Structure 1
Amino acid sequence: MGELFGSFVSGFCSHEDVSVPGADGGPLAGTSFAAKDIIDVEGFVTGCGNPDWFRTHDPAPRHAAAIARLLDAGANLSGKTITEELAYGLIGENFHYGTPVNPRADGRVPGGSSSGSASVVACAQVDFALGTDTGGSVRVPAAFCGLYGIRPSHGRVPLDGIMPLAPSLDTCGWFARDAELFHRVGRVLLAWSDCPAPSRLLIAEDAFALASEEVQAALVPAVEAVTDLLGPAKPVRPCDMAGLAGYPDWQRVMQVTRGSEAAASHLAWIRSADPEMGPLFRERFEAGGAYTPADIADAMSKRAMIDGYLSGLLGEDAVLLVPAAPAVAPPARAPEEVYDRLRTANELYNCAAPLARLPQVSLPFAEAPDGPVGLGIIAGHGNDEMLLDLAVSLSDRLPG
């Protein structure tokens, strides 16, 4: 295996042809969508990005709850999409199935782990697509591919029928090319409740400082458009919160939480099935299994501090601006150190929404010389509707 490693391919899975018509009518009637291949479709094996997983698992007995909601709303499922193995990655390269093309940045990766879903939407092969986001797997591909993307509040979209990675961090989100459909999908997937527009605007100046210079420069007009709509942004520095030693402490909490939960989810299968895996994937799960009870208890305690801090900072009326990704998409088959720099910068601040279970959107309102740049906006837990409404309002002011 591995013949396709580094090769650009369609974002659709090639190992199984999936097509399911939606209901005759509904709010999404006439639209098409795709689903990341960790999300169950009745009668088909959920492959999870690994041929040995595909070979050793049975077809799904029923649709995942999110799939069922979309089909009931009239959307037509057009296929399953490539994911990094067991959804544990940020780059978008799959050792077995290849690298889904990024049409917005030639020769560059689409981001992961929801790489195929971002690719097929960016290529206009479907109208929207489902992905999952544990540590950035919707937000980063959305930024790299110039799409609208959302990581919902933890628990807002049901995870029934979706392969877990790190259950306390996992969410099911979606991608779209235009704000109106992005919003309309949210009305179907969320138990929608109208909420007021934000009355306070915050900007994480420490998070912007971690982004590359080209990302910072590209986002200036987008930030100005938000301030034109909502008023001046108050600079904040979450890394300076009391009790933690800056973003490296946040990153450690994320690594322990995600790693230990990922190992609990899949390390037993990896050790028993001994699957062929791409470079460093088995090692990630083994490293997660090495965390001690003391490590996990310390991470849980610090996570509660981060959660409380961000909840108090945002309340019910504020949104926080961050870069959706800290850099533009790197070239495919780049040296591992290039990818490691991206992973590190992303973990340092983009762990905030997962650790505090918050919603975050990536909005395609900027372009750098080497590719698209996304503006990230975070709201308080449960205020997903605030972000989706804001995406529509801002789309009238900036091209998306």
Structure 2
Amino acid sequence: MRDPWNAFMPYPDADVGHAAIGPLSGLRLAVKDLFDVAGYPTAAGNAAVLAASGIKTSTAPLVQTLLDTGACFVGKTNTDELAYSLIGGDIHFGMPINPRDPDLIPGGSSSGSAVAVAAGLADVGLGTDTSGSIRLPAAVNGLIGWRPTHGGLNNRALRPLAPNFDVPGFMTRSLEPMAAVMSAVGMHAASDRPQSILIPEDIFATIDDAVADQMIASLRSAGIPVREVGAISWLNLDELAWAFTTILQREAWESNRSLLERSMHAIAPDIAARLLSGSRLSEEEVLEARRIREQFSKEIDRLFGEDVLVALPTLAAKPPRRDAAPRCLAAFRSACIKLLCLSGLSGCPQLALPIARPGGNISLSLLGKRGADRMLLDVAKLLRVE
């Protein structure tokens, strides 16, 4: 396959079979290089991990489910190193090129899967989402991005980053193939609809007024009552982002401790620094972060007990240029985590989708209670989207 976008890992082709008939027949599947696929190594965006991988003899169960329902494997895709970034770059294998705007970052860490779908090289991009690694690249590339309920999909033979936040998920160009994927992995059509969609004023106040107005207008087109609320939590976004980042850093260090000890020189300096920061956290800090997470999760459970969905901007800022200074990339990442962490902390599903507007597209997200994944898609079908 010709790949001018650097979406795929440069592996020799191996025969990966799939069912001739099934609900995903005719759909091309790109798989993030964190999942094992028989006949291929798994590098996780790192040369040392690649060197130690060997050729896998079995396929991750989730990938096998997709193959058994008719999806055709077209390759393993690039990822940020160790899946520990939201930008899309990698010092070992390069940064994929954003097909919508080559000057901008592609977003990560599921960068290759997003670019493959956006470029028309695949119909379904399988990725992972820990701190936004599906939702952010989906938003940057104008795609549908689904972060499932935590624990809802099989994650065996998937290299972990932060297990309490890691989830496999998908990106597509439109809602129809996403619906097919949801059915194939056991998320069947829902019969219920939310009583209302909530607009958190504190969050929408952080984005451009014209963009916020366009999002709210699209939400009203669904025919479901829209209610504005001051906030969805007593905790502010800075507190939530701190708690999320603290837990993420500790778990990322634990997941990669042996690699750090064995091959620190083979890890990009900024990634290594973030991993090491997790080792320096005190137990008091980690316990406080977990307490905040538990408190927020209880608040969200009470909120969703009222049979509502929450609407959110997917991104907190415009994507930076791919050649932006490291401090600009870090600022973008930190700003976006304040919104993207809400799903991770609560374990709730989130669906990001593009909305057409003059001058380009914006990405709106729907956040629902645990297990309401299909309801999010059903509501998205009612909205005026691209």
* Partner residue, 2:184: 188
Q: 1:335 corresponds to which letter in structure 2?
A: A
RMSD: 1.8
Equivalent-residue separation in structure 2 for 1:102 and 1:301 (angstroms): 39
* Partner residue, 1:357: 347
Give the deviation of 1:372 after TM superposition: 3.5
Aligned with 2:210 (options 217, 222, 228): 217
Q: Deviations over 1:214-237 (max 9, x none)?
A: xx5235334212213244422224
Give the deviation of 1:348 after TM superposition: 1.7
Give the deviation of 1:320 after TM superposition: 0.5
Equivalent-residue separation in structure 1 for 2:237 and 2:269 (angstroms): 28
Query: For residues 168 and 338 of structure 1, do their structure 2 counterparts lie closer, same or farther at Cα, with a shift above 3 Å needed?
Result: same
CA contact (8 A) 1:52 1:275 kept: no
Give the deviation of 1:16 after TM superposition: 4.5
Give the deviation of 1:296 after TM superposition: 1.4
Q: 2:137 corresponds to which letter in structure 1?
A: P
CA contact (8 A) 1:91 1:113 kept: yes
Please tell me whether residue 48 in structure 1 is matched to residue 44 in structure 2. Answer: yes
Equivalent-residue separation in structure 2 for 1:343 and 1:239 (angstroms): 22
Q: Deviations over 1:204-263 (max 9, x none)?
A: 22222233x2xx52353342122132444222243751xx4x211111110111111111
Please tell me whether residue 335 in structure 1 is matched to residue 325 in structure 2. Answer: yes
CA contact (8 A) 2:264 2:272 kept: no
Equivalent-residue separation in structure 1 for 2:299 and 2:95 (angstroms): 38
Question: % of aligned pairs identical?
Answer: 33
Query: For residues 109 and 234 of structure 1, do their structure 2 counterparts lie closer, same or farther at Cα, with a shift above 3 Å needed?
Result: same
Equivalent-residue separation in structure 2 for 1:168 and 1:316 (angstroms): 26
Give the deviation of 1:146 after TM superposition: 0.2
Query: For residues 140 and 296 of structure 1, do their structure 2 counterparts lie closer, same or farther at Cα, with a shift above 3 Å needed?
Result: same
Equivalent-residue separation in structure 2 for 1:60 and 1:294 (angstroms): 40
Please tell me whether residue 374 in structure 1 is matched to residue 363 in structure 2. Answer: yes
Q: 2:382 corresponds to which letter in structure 1?
A: S
Equivalent-residue separation in structure 2 for 1:316 and 1:383 (angstroms): 13
* Partner residue, 2:57: 61
CA contact (8 A) 1:63 1:161 kept: yes
Q: Deviations over 1:3-28 (max 9, x none)?
A: xxxxx842111244355231011101
Q: Deviations over 1:158-203 (max 9, x none)?
A: 1111110000100111000111111111111234362412111101
Residue correspondences, number = 383
Give the deviation of 1:31 after TM superposition: 1.2
CA contact (8 A) 2:117 2:173 kept: yes
Q: 2:254 corresponds to which letter in structure 1?
A: A
* Partner residue, 1:173: 169
Give the deviation of 1:71 after TM superposition: 0.3
Please tell me whether residue 271 in structure 1 is matched to residue 264 in structure 2. Answer: no
Query: For residues 19 and 127 of structure 1, do their structure 2 counterparts lie closer, same or farther at Cα, with a shift above 3 Å needed?
Result: farther
* Partner residue, 1:3: none
Q: 1:224 corresponds to which letter in structure 2?
A: A
Please tell me whether residue 386 in structure 1 is matched to residue 375 in structure 2. Answer: yes
> What TM-score, normalized to structure 1?
0.91
* Partner residue, 1:74: 70
Query: For residues 18 and 36 of structure 1, do their structure 2 counterparts lie closer, same or farther at Cα, with a shift above 3 Å needed?
Result: farther
Aligned with 1:126 (options 99, 102, 122): 122
